[in-house]
Amino acid sequence: MALAVRTASWWARLRGPCPAAAPRGSAARLPAGLVGCRRHYSSRDKEKIDMSTYPVESIRNFSIIAHVDHGKSTLADRLLEITGTIAKTDRNKQVLDKLQVERERGITVKAQSASLFYNREGVNYLLNLIDTPGHVDFNYEVSRSLSACQGVILVVDANEGIQAQTVANFYLAFEAQLAIIPVINKIDLKHSDPERVEKQIEKLFDIPVNECIRISAKHGINIEKVLEKVIEKIPPPQFKTTDPLKALVFDSTFDHYRGVIANVALFGGEIQKGHKIVSAHTNKRYEVNEVGILTPNEQPTHKLYAGQVGYLIAGMKEVTEAQIGDTLFMYKQPVEPLPGFKSAKPMVFAGMYPVDQTEYNNLKSALERLTLNDSSVTVHRDSSLALGAGWRLGFLGLLHMEVFNQRLEQEYNMSVILTAPTVPYKAVLSSAKLIKEYGKSEITIINPAQFPDKHLVSEYLEPTVLGTIVTPQEYIGKIIVLCQDRRAVQKDMLYIDEHRVMLKYLFPLNEIVVDFYDALKSLSSGYASFDYEDGGYQAADLIKMDILLNGNPVEELATITHNDKAYATGKFLCERLKDAIPRQLFEIAIQAAIGKKIIARETLKAYRKNVVAKCYGGDITRRMKLLKRQAEGKRLMRKIGNVEVPRDAFIRVLKRQSDK
């Protein structure tokens, strides 16, 4: 139905229709919530591998990083094939991307890792490919995955060149002091220009042109060369098995039968079944049931040793017990936890409601199951007079929100109403009474209903992001205007070659959460790319705006907005509401107000004629049916003062613009 929030065009950039992204028949449609357990158990019966034959010198831990659609997953497929990890067939497409949403969008949401065995010049190497989510929404996960690596393969499309996400990914790896192997992919394409891309890489990343490897992952060209460089350039991990156990949790999944499966990288020591371990974050103690490696399915081993990467199962019941970035150590042998751990911090909030309230319990259980696998989503119960009982969910970013919603639809067959995303504002309180009430002087405002009045506040703060835009130069003018319109401040501008420019802007987050990317894509004919990272909070002139219907406030449409944007936002909301409310017997004033001041108004005229012309024998049955349905529908109307508002009117106003 119309209310169902479909996959928005918002993130169309992730990948258009592309054969490589197509799901592989029915196998790609995963059963509810079993993402983590679609692994092959038969391997458990096999002879366990003795991991002690792989000392640190023979180990290479690395990731592949790339802008979306530049071929990260295809290269991973080839590496898996060439090392015999998976059989070589033409059906190996995005082998590590197991979710339907990943295959459809051509993105990686949930990282999967794989251990590759590779013999070179008589040495048996253990190459651990640690997959990373491909988007900055998952920046934290990316940084944790990278911290388990000593090097990365940076993939750049020979045709598109460096894009915004390439830049962001490069700096993540660079700051982590990892060895970087630049790879220029898709050299088979007709318009590819590897020389230009090599120059870009040299200019922007200071990597000599001759270090780039030109490949075609699709056709398997030069893949051996990549493996050669991995062994040659990436240093082996410098950890000792004789040290106490120190294991980094860099990912976790949930299996309905076995509980949490934590992906770990050993920074020291060894681990095996029966060991008693402790989480540095929760201080909880567990007994290890199983350890093993991922190939990419789970393959149990006797032990895991320092420098190795694998999984462990230790009776953890919830993914929150194996938080990404946590350190595990041996009971009674505490170690200094690995740096960089932080709990997931939601940046974008949205209300989620069942399309039909009778679906509430089903949606609740679907949410519970999906969040088992994604501990970064925060869930708070919420309710709205118009939309009924629901939740306010916090996401790491917009893509995260889209993906979460898509998974709900695809894996749990749930249609939901998703309200327009909002960002977490903050207020520095000046009122002693309020400070006492909250027990602190700075509060986070997720819901406009909690917005404290100006005279109780010394300062409002809004979240910002540092955005990177890479664009062909001819669009710069328009893009600068767009950014200024979004209250963004330019931080940097750099020509990465004769034609392409990289721009850096500090954006208020709320200015990009709804339709910024669409606008950017449309004014650059699809050529500009965009990425962003957390930019901290800044002071902002915020106000709360009410929407009134014939003078009565509509609680669910109250909005926090920047003073400069109040008029435009108010006008927009009034116009949308006008389109969404049917005419009634009397005139309706739709107003946007700040305090008592009206800043925008739309008038919905009264019906002057609404009566069916013909009503004779044959028309009566049809007429009565319609009337009864309308009478029934009236009971679902929300009455604000004397105005009747259909429930879907709020949905049409609240939902994101791209779903119009």
Binding residues for other proteins (CB under 8 A): 583-586, 605, 607-618, 620-621, 623-624, 627-628, 630-631, 633-635
**237, two tokens:** 């991990």
DSSP for residue 252: E
For residue 598, the number of C-alpha atoms closer than 13 Å in the C-beta half-sphere is 13
Between 45 and 632, whose beta carbon lies closer to other proteins?
Answer: 632
Residues in the chain: 660
User: What is the spatial distance between Cα 553 and Cα 547, in angstroms, rounded to a whole number?
Assistant: 6
Between 276 and 605, whose beta carbon lies closer to other proteins?
Answer: 605
Q: Provide the minimum distance between the beta carbon of 580 and other proteins in the complex, in angstroms, as a whole number.
A: 17
Between 190 and 614, whose beta carbon lies closer to other proteins?
Answer: 614
Between 257 and 616, whose beta carbon lies closer to other proteins?
Answer: 616
Helix (H, G, I), strand (E, B) or coil at 337: coil
Strands (E), 122-275: 123-130, 151-157, 179-185, 213-214, 246-255, 259-268, 270-272
Q: Provide the minimum distance between the beta carbon of 611 and other proteins in the complex, in angstroms, as a whole number.
A: 4
Q: Provide the minimum distance between the beta carbon of 643 and other proteins in the complex, in angstroms, as a whole number.
A: 13
Between 385 and 612, whose beta carbon lies closer to other proteins?
Answer: 612
Between 357 and 584, whose beta carbon lies closer to other proteins?
Answer: 584
Q: Provide the minimum distance between the beta carbon of 613 and other proteins in the complex, in angstroms, as a whole number.
A: 4
User: What is the spatial distance between Cα 354 and Cα 365, in angstroms, rounded to a whole number?
Assistant: 12
Q: Provide the minimum distance between the beta carbon of 647 and other proteins in the complex, in angstroms, as a whole number.
A: 15
Helix (H, G, I), strand (E, B) or coil at 153: strand
Q: For residue 358, give every residue at least 6 positions away whose Cβ sits within 8 Å of its Cβ, in sequence order, or none.
A: none
Between 121 and 632, whose beta carbon lies closer to other proteins?
Answer: 632
Strands (E), 385-522: 388-395, 416-418, 425-429, 442-445, 457-472, 489-495, 500-508
**641, two tokens:** 């003062």
Between 545 and 581, whose beta carbon lies closer to other proteins?
Answer: 581
Picking from 442, 438, 436, the residue whose alpha carbon sits closest to that of residue 457 is: 442
Q: Provide the minimum distance between the beta carbon of 639 and other proteins in the complex, in angstroms, as a whole number.
A: 11
User: What is the spatial distance between Cα 188 and Cα 117, in angstroms, rounded to a whole number?
Assistant: 28
User: What is the spatial distance between Cα 603 and Cα 324, in angstroms, rounded to a whole number?
Assistant: 52
**Number of other CB atoms surrounding residue 333 within 10 Å:** 14
Strands (E), 131-168: 151-157
Distances (CA, A) of 454 to 425, 433, 543, 595, 626: 14, 14, 8, 11, 49
Between 608 and 660, whose beta carbon lies closer to other proteins?
Answer: 608
Distances (CA, A) of 472 to 128, 194, 202, 499: 37, 17, 18, 6
Q: Provide the minimum distance between the beta carbon of 588 and other proteins in the complex, in angstroms, as a whole number.
A: 13
Between 493 and 615, whose beta carbon lies closer to other proteins?
Answer: 615
User: What is the spatial distance between Cα 165 and Cα 171, in angstroms, rounded to a whole number?
Assistant: 10
Quick one: which H or E segment has residue 576? helix 566-580
Q: Provide the minimum distance between the beta carbon of 620 and other proteins in the complex, in angstroms, as a whole number.
A: 7
Q: Provide the minimum distance between the beta carbon of 172 and other proteins in the complex, in angstroms, as a whole number.
A: 51
Q: Provide the minimum distance between the beta carbon of 572 and other proteins in the complex, in angstroms, as a whole number.
A: 24
Between 331 and 586, whose beta carbon lies closer to other proteins?
Answer: 586
Between 340 and 633, whose beta carbon lies closer to other proteins?
Answer: 633
Q: Provide the minimum distance between the beta carbon of 571 and other proteins in the complex, in angstroms, as a whole number.
A: 23
- Report yes or no: 445 and 505 within 8 Å, Cβ to Cβ: no
Between 432 and 615, whose beta carbon lies closer to other proteins?
Answer: 615
User: Which alpha helices (H) appear in 276-397, and where do they start and end?
Assistant: 360-372
Q: Provide the minimum distance between the beta carbon of 633 and other proteins in the complex, in angstroms, as a whole number.
A: 7
User: What is the spatial distance between Cα 614 and Cα 620, in angstroms, rounded to a whole number?
Assistant: 9
Helix (H, G, I), strand (E, B) or coil at 481: helix
User: Which alpha helices (H) appear in 206-252, and where do they start and end?
Assistant: 223-233
Residue reference for tokens 């991995």: 230
User: What is the spatial distance between Cα 148 and Cα 247, in angstroms, rounded to a whole number?
Assistant: 10
Q: Provide the minimum distance between the beta carbon of 591 and other proteins in the complex, in angstroms, as a whole number.
A: 22
Q: Provide the minimum distance between the beta carbon of 632 and other proteins in the complex, in angstroms, as a whole number.
A: 8
Between 19 and 617, whose beta carbon lies closer to other proteins?
Answer: 617
Q: Which residues of 541-567 are buried (b: 16+ CB within 10 A; e: fewer)?
A: ebbbbbbbbeeeebebbebbbbeebbe
Between 1 and 613, whose beta carbon lies closer to other proteins?
Answer: 613
Residue reference for tokens 């969910």: 393
**445, two tokens:** 């405002």
Q: Provide the minimum distance between the beta carbon of 550 and other proteins in the complex, in angstroms, as a whole number.
A: 14
